[in-house]
Structure 1
Amino acid sequence: MVGYPYLDSWVIQGQLGGIGALAKMLIAPERNHSKNGTRLAVIGWGAAGSVSFYMPDVLQQVEVYTIDNEDPTCVRTINDIELQFCAGVMEGGKDACQGDSGGPIFQWTGRYWEQVGIVSYGNGCGDRGYPGIYTRLSYYYDWINGILKNEGEHLEPSILTTANTTRTPTTTTSSTPVETITYPCEQNADQCGCSLNNVVLSQQFQAKIVHGHNAVPYSWSMIVSVRVNGLQHTCAGTILSDLFILTAARCVLTVSSPNSIRIIAATHTLSEYPPVIRDVDQMHIHPNFTYEYDRSLHDIAILQLDRPLPLNILMRLTKTCIPNILSSFTQYPDANSSLLIVGWGYSSSGSNFSDVLQQARIKLVSPHPTSCYLYSDNYQFCVGDVTGGTGDLGSPAFIFKQDRWEQVST
């Protein structure tokens, strides 16, 4: 996870997509969330760098912060603050990258992880002064639920629980000087945003998903690998229900038939065997999605699977939480919120895809800095100096809300 080395001059707005999957997503409940400075988490298998584009096999994660819509570094990148938001770290070095697109960015609510966005685009991979741009999920809550309801209800799983039900995050220190914090989260059938294992983050900010760190196995059970026209990881996505997956529209822009898309779920590493595999039966790309060389709006899509995922059987599968905002969603997530990016994208500039799921902390940027290329701040937001790249497109961004992770963007 780092940034989009091939999207230096591209602006992607409203980047969302969905595919029926193994875990449901919870959308943020308030449109004024997340606030500036909120800590967010991004996960994915995207590139670990923007030079060698090394793709890690293990899922990566990184923590970032939301950046104010009026910050100069966000203003120059974001398109519409209602549709997007900025996130990252001001000194750079922490971001999503190639392979993380379409993936989630999460926020911790205090009880679960809420997905507040989707990895959309950026300038490079964690370049200083160029925060990442994420699709603001709160804006698309009604559109997402309209598709799910029209296509029928998902299958409700039976009660699933984990051994640890503690609600308060705990901080520990390993043999090294790096401190970690654990987010206790109880997984059950009716709750989204909680996985088989608890999320563990470093207290220090890692450098991008590009320079994020390996996620605890199956601590992000809502993320999936999207494969287009082949077996190689292309983008990331998250599980809305047993039949739908959320990702970025750009991930499936050139797809001629839904049948050429394959979803890999219940996996920690890209090479893990055997994963849960599903083919896509239908694609639901946002009707207002537009794409040009340097502009893109409503970059969001939902993919419908050919058959349900076993949410009621396999505990390695979890639904994502997306926000249902009632007030001004241009302030959700709040500026300076700490977010977490997760994915398998490139872990550094010029690297390859990560085989292991990666995660990284980022920070939402507000006001938007001049380096933040937003087309509309109604649909997008900037995060620090973090951007997505090959393999991270569609990857989710999360924020922790009390006892679960909520997805706020991709």
Structure 2
Amino acid sequence: MDHTDVDNVKPTDECYEVHNVDASDILVGGYHNVGFTHKDLYNALQRGKAKEIVDGDVNALIAYFDYKKHDDPGFFVTYSVDESETLYNLIWSDSTSRSDYICFGDVITFDTTYKDNLYGRPIMPIVGVNHHHNTIVFATAIIADETSQSFEWVLHNFLEAMMNKSPILVVTDGDRVMQRAIKSVIPNAKHILCSWYLSRNAQANIGDPKFTVAFSKCMASWWITDEFDIQWHSVVSEFNVEKHPWVIEKGNTWHLWAQAYLTGHFFANIRSTQRCESMNASLAIALKHKKTYLDVVRAIEDGINRMHLNELKADYLSSQTKPFQITKLVEFESHASKIFTRKSFHAFQEELQWETLYRIHEEIQSLSDEYASFKTARDEMKRLTEEFENSFGLNDSVNRSSVLNNIRDPQRKQRKRKEVTKNKVEKKIR
């Protein structure tokens, strides 16, 4: 560094913010050990690419959104520009998606793995699950970069579009910047990590398929916390990874990924961001030869329209057809099929089937216990009888039978005496 660079040196705190460095990151042993540094480079490149956005492309997009607002009064769109008046961040949602969020917005997930073809900007679908267990899109954002400022901008405007209703749970891929944005904008929402990304990272970091299987079991098993602690330390010890940085980090964040520590939270059947991934895959196919912002928006709308069509088909199936019944609880199943959607009914039916099997098992176990008690009592009676016979030397079968009869029926002798006396009296009368 020479004297001409002195004016460009930034304060330490500002450098930390630029590079997303927490105070804890300073303690990891040097900047080369800090994760996600590739994103800093990516974000710097994106700031340069922003200047390349064609004005005609943006103008066409804004004009299209104006048309959408005229056609759909509930359509929401907002965007920001940078200091050069270039489009920076953008988010939109139609009236149907906003209504869906009111009903099904308790759990959301989003990621930014897909980039548009022309400008390389992250496309950020915010998705959830409806009453048919199908993926639905609540809103979509196109952001300039993956900084905390951009994520916070998206979340603030997303809440504004959704009448400030906050989700109760958010699933992400574990991006640190994204985590900070969630904590800042929706602090009361429970945040969990994507199970698919965790399994993939376990394989990438440890490199042992057997460890990945064991880790996935720890992640998904419905253990109590004490049992999880035992199993986790057993796995870590078995594979000798106690000092591995990735394992240490995951050991300090059980509450973000282990089912044992997440029991009681509502997930809406979302434990990964793969619902976003499936949408991204569809976009990649649709946009293979298309590049403009307008192409991106229309491709996303086509995907959302297909989701709405699938919902209509599922509505018809649930309301106009009857499912097969698999238990003997005919009236119970019939009532459930009328109040649940078909997908929810099948989930209920599976639970019901397991529950009936459990009760049968319990009854069989109870009968087995009763039989075991009876068998024990019978064997004990047999043993006592044999001891009694041996003690009196009852080898003669006739005597043994007579004695045993008297033992089993103590009043037998007394009745027999009465019968003899009665016979003698009758003879005298004659």
TM-score (norm 2): 0.24
Higher strand share: 1
- Which of 1 and 2 has higher RCO (CA within 8 Å, sep 6+)? 1
Higher helix share: 2
TM-score (norm 1): 0.25
